[in-house]
């Protein structure tokens, strides 16, 4: 008999749990309890995420809730489970994966509550079911940073830590991230039931997703009235918008496997992600990605490839292959338009016009050639448009190719002349964040947290929740990365 940990004590905290995913039946998951961790402590909490889930901010001060969200106490009414999914990883069919370390507690206020790092599940394969403090702080801050940027994402309610050792390249300590999303269903859930020849379950899953998250698909008259093609088209649209957001802010996901693609078009699984410092379209943020499959510039194509996997998985529900292809093809129109719209806004234009395109392409080329810091460039340009005189040469100085920049600025200024400058500047300051979660900032917060100083996690959260605001006291965090930032190695190890 394997040694089982003692069953956690139930906690009498009246919360309105709803367990809709559990209602799908046991082909979809394994019911189980989290595995306790000793002596947990709060590492970071998001009051804003708590409000979203309908929780009182004082829940996040409570020692009982700390225990429950670390997996040490059960919550009355929740039906914890680990779901099964499969997927393509780095372009190859990877077979069955599943929640190997994430445990769904149920839903609060329409949001699924998931503990990431809460112990072994039947899907843990070779893993230990745990997550380390380092990657948990990164996921917590990144989720809330993306939300602050207005990018569709899962959110994070809190990170709790424990001194329990966890072995990675070195021995680190354990942590649990409590994540929130309307659903954590992935493309890989669909692939699982298609690949394993379970069309009945595939249909149950698709109907569940449509009824709860995409009800309009039932009445969509396009696609021969087939709600599953409508679903594929709707997921395509949301995914295209999500990736357009990523590209416009310089976000590199790092592991765009189909099991990390949300059926709701949310950014999920913050592993080896990076907000780029210097702009380099070929940037690979994941040191384990030796082939560069998930390089920054490839992200839109990878999203499209992943959508094809989803389409293939949905074929048993779709009558005509041409309809599926037509639904997927919409990506080729939606993505470029969404991206151009976001880039135009970064330049101060509320609508894209044909004349904007060469200006967008031109600046991206110059930024790439000189590897200019992406966020600093856009923020300085916004200030320059707002207040040309006092901003001086601060933008031009970022480039080695000054002549090239001057030529570009001339064509940009000609376009700007057609719109009120104050309005353009206003839009730019709301489209170009002052703060992004750069690797070195996350790293500093992690180093301090390892010494049990969680103040930088809290301060970073505050700044990243409203990244377009000035927060003058944190100006240094909007500056260039230090030299050592280039040597931070982020891999799949988490």
Annotated binding site for Mg(2+): 260, 269
Total binding residues toward ligand ATP, as defined by CB under 6 A: 22
Region from 73-81, 123-131, 145-153, 350-358 binding ligand ATP, contact rule CB under 6 A: 123-131
399 contact partners, CB below 8 Å, separation of at least 6 = 366, 370, 372, 405
- Residues 373-412: x where in contact with ligand ATP by CB under 6 A, - otherwise, as a string: ----------------------------------------
The SS3 assignment for 452 reads coil
| Cα angle, residue 303 at apex, residues 254 and 209 outer, rounded to 5° | 110
Strands 251-252 and 171-181: unpaired
Between residues 72 and 136, which has the closer beta carbon with respect to Mg ion? 136
The single residue of 259, 289, 370, 373 carrying the catalytic annotation is: 259
Whole-number Å distance between alpha carbons of 80 and 288? 32
Rg (CA), the chain: 23
Q: Which of 269, 277, 280, 443 binds ligand ATP (CB under 6 A)?
A: 269
Region from 86-94, 269-277, 303-311, 363-371 binding Mg ion, contact rule CB under 5 A: 269-277
Whole-number Å distance between alpha carbons of 350 and 343? 10
Q: Which residue has the tokens 């320059």?
A: 384
Q: Which of 112, 172, 269, 280 binds Mg ion (CB under 5 A)?
A: 269
Residue 186 is classified by DSSP as B
Between residues 139 and 370, which has the closer beta carbon with respect to Mg ion? 139
Between residues 78 and 83, which has the closer beta carbon with respect to ligand ATP? 83
DSSP state letters, 266-305 = -B---SS-EE-SB--TT----TT-TT-TT-GGGHHHHHHH
The binder of 130, among ligand ATP, Mg ion, none, by C-beta within 5 to 8 A per type, is: ligand ATP
The binder of 336, among ligand ATP, Mg ion, none, by C-beta within 5 to 8 A per type, is: none
The CA-atom distances, in angstroms, between 226 and each of 141, 207, 230 are 40, 12, 6
Q: Which residue has the tokens 């965090």?
A: 477
Q: Which of 260, 286, 299, 439 binds ligand ATP (CB under 6 A)?
A: 260
Judged on CB neighbours under 10 Å (0-12, 13-18, 19+), 347 is buried
Question: Is residue 373 annotated as a catalytic residue, yes or no?
Answer: no
173 binds Mg ion (CB under 5 A): no
Residue 83: in which H helix or E strand, if any?
Answer: strand 81-83
88 binds ligand ATP (CB under 6 A): no
Region from 263-271, 311-319, 366-374, 476-484 binding ligand ATP, contact rule CB under 6 A: 263-271
34 binds ligand ATP (CB under 6 A): no
260 binds Mg ion (CB under 5 A): yes
Q: Which of 77, 91, 95, 100 binds ligand ATP (CB under 6 A)?
A: 100
124 binds ligand ATP (CB under 6 A): yes
Best CA proximity match to 308, nearest among 341, 342, 332 = 332
Tell me the catalytic residues.
259
Binding-site ranges for ligand ATP (CB under 6 A)? 97-102, 116, 123-124, 127-130, 255, 257, 259-260, 268-269, 271, 492, 494
Binding-site ranges for Mg ion (CB under 5 A)? 260, 269
């Amino acid at each position: 008999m394997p040694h089982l940990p003692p069953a956690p004590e139930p906690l009498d905290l009246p919360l309105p749990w709803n367990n809709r995913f559990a209602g799908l039946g046991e082909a979809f998951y394994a019911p189980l309890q989290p595995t306790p961790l000793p002596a947990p402590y709060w590492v970071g909490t998001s009051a804003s995420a708590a409000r979203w889930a309908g929780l009182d901010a004082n829940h996040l001060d409570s020692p009982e809730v700390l225990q429950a969200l670390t997996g040490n106490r059960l919550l009355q009414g929740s039906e914890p489970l680990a779901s099964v999914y499969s997927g393509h990883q780095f372009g190859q069919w990877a077979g069955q994966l599943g929640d190997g370390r994430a445990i769904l507690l149920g839903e609060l206020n329409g949001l699924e509550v998931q503990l990431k790092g809460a112990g072994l599940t039947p899907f843990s394969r070779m893993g230990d079911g745990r997550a380390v403090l380092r990657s948990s702080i990164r996921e917590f801050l990144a989720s809330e940073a993306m939300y602050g940027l207005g990018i569709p994402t899962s959110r994070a309610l809190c990170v709790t830590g424990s001194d329990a050792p966890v072995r990675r390249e070195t021995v680190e300590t354990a942590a649990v991230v409590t994540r929130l999303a309307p659903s954590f269903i992935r493309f890989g859930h669909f692939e699982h039931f298609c690949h394993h020849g379970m069309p009945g379950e595939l249909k149950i899953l698709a109907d569940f997703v449509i009824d709860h998250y995409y009800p309009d698909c039932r009445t969509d008259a396009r696609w021969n009235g087939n709600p599953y093609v409508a679903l594929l088209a709707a997921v395509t649209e949301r995914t295209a918008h999500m990736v357009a957001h990523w590209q416009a802010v310089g976000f590199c996901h790092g592991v765009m496997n189909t099991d990390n693609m949300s059926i709701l078009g949310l950014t999920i699984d913050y592993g080896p992600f990076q907000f780029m410092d210097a702009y380099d379209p070929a940037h690979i943020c994941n040191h384990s990605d030796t082939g560069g499959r998930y390089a920054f510039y490839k992200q839109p194509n990878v999203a499209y490839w992943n959508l094809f996997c989803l389409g293939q998985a949905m074929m048993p529900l779709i009558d005509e292959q041409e309809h599926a292809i037509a639904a997927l093809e919409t990506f080729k129109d939606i993505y470029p338009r969404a991206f151009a719209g976001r880039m135009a806004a970064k330049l101060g234009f509320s609508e894209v016009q044909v004349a904007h395109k060469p200006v967008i392409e031109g600046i991206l080329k110059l930024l790439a050639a000189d590897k200019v810091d992406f966020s600093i460039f856009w923020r300085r340009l916004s200030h320059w448009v707002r207040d040309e005189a006092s901003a001086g040469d601060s933008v031009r100085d970022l480039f080695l190719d000054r002549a090239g920049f001057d030529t570009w600025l001339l064509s940009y200024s000609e376009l700007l002349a057609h719109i009120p400058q104050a309005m353009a500047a206003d839009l730019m300051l709301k489209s170009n964040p002052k703060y992004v979660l750069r690797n070195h900032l996350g790293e500093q917060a992690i180093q301090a947290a390892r010494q049990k100083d969680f103040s930088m996690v809290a301060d970073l959260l505050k700044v990243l929740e409203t990244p377009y605001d000035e927060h003058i006291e944190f100006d240094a965090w909007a500056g260039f990365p230090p030299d050592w930032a280039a040597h931070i190695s982020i891999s799949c190890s988490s």
